[in-house]
Homo-oligomer: A and B are copies of this chain.
Amino acid sequence: MRTRIYEIIEIADENDIASRVYDITMMISIVVSLVPVAAKRTDGIYWYMDICTTMIFMVDYLLRLFTADKKLRKGAKSFLVYPVTPMAIIDLLAILPSLIAVNGGLRLIKLLRLLRTLRVFRVFKAVRYSKSIPIIVQAFKKQRESLAVVGVLAIGYIMVSALIVISIEPETFPTFFDAVYWATVSLTTVGYGDIYAVSTAGKIITMISSVFGIAIVALPAGIITAGYMDEIKMKKKAEKEEKKNEKNEK
């Protein structure tokens, strides 16, 4: 029976109806569990939504733990290793906030808000059921080195811009955090207009920083796009060759 449960939970077999039903139930549960977060309410129907989905997630968590050895293929050790794998931690984070809220009551308001935020992590449970995420993850992995380099450069550039602007115009930027926020919002060209340099020196820094920085801050985006396009090309090629091989075999 454990083998059957494992098949239902983990293996994405299009023809296995029980497996498909399980996946769809989980996806609906994830969406429903996020409705109270989006609606910012915890009463009435929203409370039931939270309770029901939390229970479904608990059952899911226990079933996955129960079949951990089938997945990790490490015998009895699997049951100890499984709870610390990334996906299992995400699963736990999806349950805990509501569990604590239910048990601890409404006394700890501050903590509750943090917990409400943690519930958003439930969305990452969906990663398991999405087909489009693996491609982009692959693209990220292939370009890992380049991304690390340009990521460091981009963060470095933002930090230097923030340091220069806070030195030149300390009145506008009360803390270093404000300067970093300004630099990020400016160099990504979002430019809300809630914070900006007002002195002439500060405006000059804004201009120089923008003209040069946009190229540097846009580098990671460029690399991801290029990597993603490559990934798609390779996938198409692989599919074509597969078809050819099938023909040749016939």
- Which A residues are closer than 8 A to B by beta carbons? 34, 37-40, 113, 116-117, 119-120, 123, 130-133, 135-136, 146, 148-150, 152-154, 156, 159-160, 162-164, 166-168, 170, 175-177, 179-181, 184-186, 188-194, 196, 198, 200, 203, 206-207, 210-211, 214-226, 228-229, 232
Contacts and interface: CB of A to CB of B under 8 A. Distances in A.
Contact of A214 (B117, B188, B226): B188
A40 B170 contact: yes
A203 B214 CA distance: 20
A123 B160 contact: yes
A215 to B, nearest CB: 4
Given A164-B120, A170-B40, A152 B180 contact: no
**Top 6 closest A-B pairs, CB basis?**
A215-B221, A193-B193, A190-B191, A38-B176, A117-B167, A132-B149
Instruction: Give the number of times this chain occurs in the complex, counting copies.
Output: 4
B221 A214 contact: yes
Given A120-B167, A181-B206, A184-B207, 13 more contacts: A34-B163, A37-B163, A38-B166, A116-B167, A123-B160, A185-B210, A189-B191, A190-B210, A191-B193, A194-B198, A211-B217, A214-B218, A215-B220
A188 B90 CA distance: 29
Contact of A185 (B177, B185, B206): B206
Of A40, A181, A185, A190, chain B has the most CB atoms within 10 Å of the CB of A190
Contacts of A117: 164, 167-168
A229 B226 contact: yes
A210 B184 contact: yes
14 contacts: A38-B163, A117-B168, A123-B156, A132-B148, A132-B150, A184-B207, A184-B211, A186-B190, A186-B192, A190-B191, A194-B198, A211-B217, A215-B224, A219-B228
A62 B139 CA distance: 47
A211 B193 contact: no
Nearest to A131: B149
A159 B123 CA distance: 10
A196 B196 contact: no
